[in-house]
Amino acid sequence: MKRRPFFCLLSGLPLLGRAAESPPVRLLFAGSSSLYWNDLPREVARVVKGKVAGHPGAEVIPEAVGRSGSDIRVYLEPGFDRYEYGVKPGQTFLQKIAEEKPDLVALMTVCRFIMGDDDPDGSGSAHAGAVTTYCGAIRDAGGEPLFYEMGWGKTEREAEGRRRILELAVKNRIRLFAPCSSAWARVYWEKPDLALQHPRDGSHPGDAGHFLNLACFYATLTGQSPVGMLPRTFPVWPHGLGKAETPEAKAAEAARIAAFRPDAYQKKMAKWMLKNMSMQLQATLEEETARYLETVAWETWQAVSGRLAAARSA
């Protein structure tokens, strides 16, 4: 790997030309750092542009809402106002959904949270209950919820978290499910030497992990195989970027950030993220690795999507 500085779900309809293009698709992500790392919402929007099932030719407008390190359940806490990005002053997540009516909302469903981490009673029921509330609100506003299955661990507890997330998806009759954690688990099993995370960062997706997640979202949002469809060179964030200590380093960092021109998505994110965004790094995957990860994403999505479809029809 090289680094360099709906609704007609799964309809399979071909793009019909500019005359038949759909209005822009507003894609809102809700969650914490494994959501915004590597500008994931923006990169998802780029790879599925014009290809979202049921929205032929449509632009995709990405946005994110949330807070670093927090379960999305905290947005339901009385008086919660500690958002770091994505809401207007005084606005809540539920108000944002009701007022802005995004077409698709990706909810970060996290293995460790549904297993009880950061839960008031340690059961995981608060995470599950909040996700269910959000699904209802999204549909009431005319949108469709999407589960972003997140969890990068290798333990049995992580596996149980995935099982609970799938059960929650069945309960909420979810149609859009990005099986990122499940895809990571398969790679861990089949190719344990393929690093999905950077050795200096065990919290977030590394370059290959980010690519795998993009492939999962591609399959989820288009209903088509991502194999051979994703760019092999793509933007990434640095890992383990240290704090500027010397006056010279601080001045260089400030100059880099001042010269950086964020795009429409980046402008809405927390200002401290400019430190990472302004590095403007890219990663490149070898073709064999890229196609393997795309294949894993496609086959994992097919399996999970089939189970959800069967549950909905039961």
| Assigned CATH class of 11-232+288-313 | alpha beta
pLDDT, position 3: 53
How do residues 287-305 score in pLDDT, each as one tens digit? Answer: 999 999 999 999 999 999 9
- What pLDDT, on the 0 to 100 scale, is given for residue 2? 52
DSSP state of 229: T
Q: What is the pLDDT of residues 243-272, one digit of tens each?
A: 888 989 899 999 999 999 999 999 999 999
- Please count the CA atoms within 13 angstroms of the CA of 208 that sit on its side-chain side: 26
The torsion region of residue 279 among left (phi > 0), alpha (psi -120 to 50) and beta comes to: alpha
Q: Where do the domains of the chain lie? A: 11-232+288-313
The phi, psi pair for 205, rounded to 5°, reads -60, 135
**Residues in the chain, pLDDT under 70:** 1-20
Please give the structure tokens belonging to residue 196: 């999905």
Q: Structure tokens of 244?
A: 């500027």
Kindly state the tokens that stand for 204: 């977030």
Percent of the chain with pLDDT over 70: 94
For 165, the 3-state DSSP assignment is: helix
Q: Which residue has the tokens 């990571």?
A: 184
